[in-house]
């Protein structure tokens, strides 16, 4: 597993409606960075939320939370701890 980010991280988890045949069904958004992943393993509390997405120009709904570690494995699975 590769550590992508650590520290006091605020994240959003959103379904990737444009996944097509990629197998990357989820968007993990941390700050200005977005990561497309196949599965999400979340070991911290989350809550539902909505916010305006400047990239999409629309209000989006997602699960969000805080974590201190964000990892990706070789299969593009995300781990939030």
CB-based burial of residue 80 (10 Å sphere; 0-12 exposed, 13-18 middle, 19+ buried)? buried
Integer Cα distance of 24 and 46 in angstroms:
21
Q: What is the mean pLDDT of residues 27-31?
A: 95
pLDDT (tens digit, 9 = 90+) per residue, 50-59? 999 888 899 9
User: What average pLDDT is seen over the chain?
Assistant: 95
């Amino acid at each position: 597993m590769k550590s992508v980010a650590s520290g006091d991280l605020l994240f959003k988890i959103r379904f990737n409606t444009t996944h097509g045949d990629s197998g990357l069904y989820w968007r993990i958004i941390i700050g200005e960075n977005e990561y497309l992943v196949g599965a999400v393993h979340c070991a911290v509390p989350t809550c539902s939320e909505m916010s305006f997405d400047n990239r999409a120009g629309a209000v989006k709904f997602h699960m969000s939370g805080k974590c201190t570690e964000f990892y990706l494995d070789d299969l593009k699975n995300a781990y939030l701890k």
